[in-house]
Amino acid sequence: MGCRTVSADAKKVLDSLTSWDADWKGLRVVVAGLGLSGFSAADTLIELGAIVTVIDGKNDELNQQRAETLKIVGAHQVLLGTENVRSLPQVDGQDAQLVMVSPGWNPRHPVIAEAAEAGIEIWSDIELAWRVQNRAGHTAPKWLAITGTNGKTTTVGMTESILQAAGLKAIAVGNVGTPILDAVREPVDYDVFAVELSSFQLHYTHSISPVASVVLNIAEDHVDWHDGFENYKAAKAKIYERTQVAAIFNAEEEITIRMVENADVIEGCRAIGFTTDSPSVSMIGVVESLLVDRAYIEDRKTNAVELIPLDQIGEIVPRHTAANAAAAAALTRAYGVEPEAIAQGLSGFDAGDHRIQAVARKNDILWINDSKATNPHAADASLAAFTRVVWIAGGLSKGVDYEDLVAKHAHRLAKVLLIGTDTAGLIEALSSKAPDVEVINVTAEAQNADGAAPSGTQVMTRAVYKAAEIAQPGDTVLMAPAAASMDQFSSYAQRGNAFISAVSDLMDRADEGN
C-alpha cells in the first residue's frame, strides 16, 4: 500500500459522527461485502449522504440484483468479482475515510489489512447502528447484548419474548432476524433491542454501551478467522465494555468470570451470575426445578423470587436450555422486567426447529433433531440431556478435536451412525475414547453402485432407518452432528429437515404395518 495513511482530519470527522443528524454528507466509505448486513449498511450510508463504494467477490445473480438496487438509490460504485477485492479501492478518486466490513471478512483479508495498515477506521454494522440510532425527535432504544459460542440465537429469542410479554416494543436484531440497521430505520420507536453479536461483529465494534451484556459460554470456535483462540476470546470479551447496569457471566465457566473482572464497565454496573445450579447471592439459577432470582431483589442475602418452573419452558429442558433461560432472565431483569413477564415470555417462547427438537416418540424411543449442533460444544449439550443415545453424527468438521466430547459421553452411546464426508477425526476419537461402541459409517454404506457419492438426503434416510433397527425402548435417537452441514447439505436447516422427513416416513410406514 505504500505510505498511505489516514489524516488527523478524517479521524476528527469520524469522532463527530455520533448521531443520524451528524454531518455524514460526503464521507467516503468502502462497504466490504454485499450480504444482508453489507447491503443494509450501504443503504443506510447512502441515505445519510455518504459517498459509498461497495465491493464483493461474488458476482452472482443475487448480488447483481442488490447492486442494481444500490445504484438506483445512489451508490457511487458497486464492484463485483474477485478482481475487485484484492486491494482497497479509492472512493470518488480519493482514499476512503471509513471501511464498513461484513462478518465474513477477517482481519487478514487484503482489503481489510490494507485499511488497517493505513489507519483507516473499520466498523461493523453494529457500530454504525449504535451511532445513527440517536436521531432528533426519536428515543434511541436500550440494548441488551448477547454473545457466546453456543446458545446465542435461543437466548436472544427468549429475551425478545420476555420483553414483548412485558408490553415493551422490542425486537431481536444483529446476527439474527432483522438486520440492526433496518430496525433502526423502521418508523417505530423501539424500547429495547435484543442484540445477538458474533465474535466477527464484536471485533469491529468500538463504542456500544448496552444496559446489560452477557457471554453465555466460550469454546474453541472460529480460531481460523481470529488467528487463534486468545483473539477469539478477546473479541467476545468486548461485549462487556461500557456496560451500564449488569455484566452477566456464566458462573459455571471461569473464563466468563475473568472477562467481567477485567472489563471497563460504567461505574455502578453490577456483576450478575447465572447458573443451572443453586444460585449464590447476585445470581439467577435453579432450585428444585424452579428458575429463581437472587440478584434483583432487595433481600437477596436470605431470599429468592420464583421466576418459572422449568417444565413450563418446554417438553425437554436440557441443562443448556435452562442456562439460556437464566441468562435471558438476568438480562431482562436488569432492564426492570417483572417476574410475571419472565414467566410469560419463557413459557410462550418457541425455540423453533433444529434445536433439540422432539420429532417423534414411538415404542418408548425418542427421536431428536439437533442439526443446529454444528460443533462439539453444541453437541456436548445435546448428549448431556439424554441417558442412552443412538448418535447420528458427522459432517464438515472444520478441523476441530472430538476426543473430549467422545470421552465425556462414551457411557451414553449405544451406537454411532456416521453421516458426512469429513469424519476421520470423529472416527479416530471414537476408536480411542469409546472403543467398545459400535460405529457404522452410513455414508460409506450408502455409496451408489456406480461409485457416485450419495446425496445427503440418501445418507440421512439410511441413517434413520438403521437407527430404527438398533434403538431399544428407553433410547434416544439423537441427530446432533457436531459438525457443519455444507459437505452434504446447503445448511443445517436442510440437514434437519432431511432428518425430520425420514423420521416421518419411518413412522408412517410403521403405522401402515400395524
Cell 482530519 sits on residue: 9
Strand order in the sheet with 476-479: 357-362, 365-369, 476-479, 389-393, 413-418, 438-441
Could you give the CA distance from residue 74 to residue 205 in angstroms, rounded to a whole number? 26
Could you give the CA distance from residue 514 to residue 500 in angstroms, rounded to a whole number? 21
Q: Where are the alpha helices (DSSP H) in 412-491?
A: 424-433, 442-445, 456-470
**DSSP letter, residue 95:** -
Q: Tell how far CA 218 is from the center of its chain.
A: 12
**DSSP letter, residue 74:** T
**DSSP letter, residue 396:** B
The answer on whether 457 is annotated among ligand-binding residues is: no
CB atoms within 10 A of CB 167: 10
The answer on whether 151 is annotated among ligand-binding residues is: yes
Q: Which residues of 417-434 are buried (b: 16+ CB within 10 A; e: fewer)?
A: bbbbbbbebbeebbeebb
Contact (Cβ atoms closer than 8 angstroms) between residue 375 and residue 221? yes
Contact (Cβ atoms closer than 8 angstroms) between residue 29 and residue 53? yes
Which residues fall within 8 angstroms of residue 377, CB to CB, at 6 or more apart? 149, 150, 217, 219, 220, 221
From residue 382, give the alpha-carbon distance in Å to each of 251, 318, 423, 463.
20, 7, 19, 18
Query: Which amino acid does the sequence have at 255?
Result: I
Strand segments, DSSP code E, in 62-211 are 77-80, 98-101, 121-123, 142-147, 170-174, 192-196
The answer on whether 152 is annotated among ligand-binding residues is: yes
The answer on whether 256 is annotated among ligand-binding residues is: no
Secondary element (H or E) of residue 416: strand 413-418
Q: State the Rg of the chain over Cα.
A: 24
The answer on whether 74 is annotated among ligand-binding residues is: no
Could you give the CA distance from residue 168 to residue 293 in angstroms, rounded to a whole number? 21
The answer on whether 154 is annotated among ligand-binding residues is: yes
Q: Point out the annotated binding site for ATP.
A: 148-154
Q: Point out the annotated binding site.
A: 148-154
